[in-house]
Amino acid sequence: MISTNDFKTGQTILYEGNIFVVLEFLHVKPGKGGAFVRTKLKNLRSGSITDVTFNAGTKVERAQIDKITMQYLYADGDKHVFMNTESYEQIDIPNFQIEHELNFIYEGLSVEVMFYNNSEILGVLLPDKLALEVVETMPAVKGDTKGNALKDAILQTGYMVKVPMFIEQGEKVIVNTNDGTYVSRDK
């Protein structure tokens, strides 16, 4: 059990029969009444985000989440195959469970797969930033350098991102996997 006073960002808890990760928390001590903790929780099974307010000191159960490094192998219909890099065991994860992550995953990429109780697959953890190759973009037009001008670029995974005008086809760019935005050119 863990007290709501000890919450940390990224901590996993069991609450109302579901597994949540704490995205944000704020301890509030009003002038009248008892203190409370306002939280933003993400349901690891459904992906939904919920605001929950707990009384300060309330005990909730900690959820033990195991993270195993696995390599993405290939798509197989409506599921995707990952392989444990130590035991060579393969698992299938359905599309709906990793919809956002599929924008950035390519064959051979190593990711962390989250498991609850060593059996239930909760999803995939990507690095915050990934280097991906630009496979299609419009060539820059000489003189078209107005401040912060952006153009569309399609990455090796099929994801479309806005990049600066100087980025060309074949270059690698670093993309933020949380919001899908361009960060910088890969060196």
Q: Looking at the structure, tell me whether residues 58 and 69 fall in a common domain.
A: no
Number of domains comprising the chain: 3
State mean pLDDT over 55-66. Answer: 89
Asked if the model's pLDDT at residue 82 lies above 80, the reply is yes
Q: What is the pLDDT of residues 144-186, one digit of tens each?
A: 556 678 889 999 999 999 998 888 899 999 999 888 899 988 8
| Residue 155, beta-bridge partner list | 134
Q: Give SS3 for 48.
A: coil
What is the chain's mean pLDDT, rounded?
A: 88
Longest dimension (CA), the chain: 65
**Owning domain of residue 134:** 129-185
Structure tokens at 16: 């109302």
Q: How confident is the model at residue 8 (pLDDT cuts 50, 70, 90)?
A: confident
| Residue 80, beta-bridge partner list | 75, 93
Q: Looking at the structure, tell me whether residues 8 and 42 fall in a common domain.
A: yes
Q: Show which of 35, 62, 89 is a domain's final residue.
A: 62
Q: Looking at the structure, tell me whether residues 9 and 37 fall in a common domain.
A: yes
Q: Looking at the structure, tell me whether residues 72 and 53 fall in a common domain.
A: no
Q: Looking at the structure, tell me whether residues 117 and 69 fall in a common domain.
A: yes
pLDDT at 142: 65
Q: Looking at the structure, tell me whether residues 92 and 115 fall in a common domain.
A: yes
- The pTM assigned to this predicted structure is 0.75
Q: Show which of 30, 62, 94 is a domain's final residue.
A: 62
Q: Give SS3 for 39.
A: strand
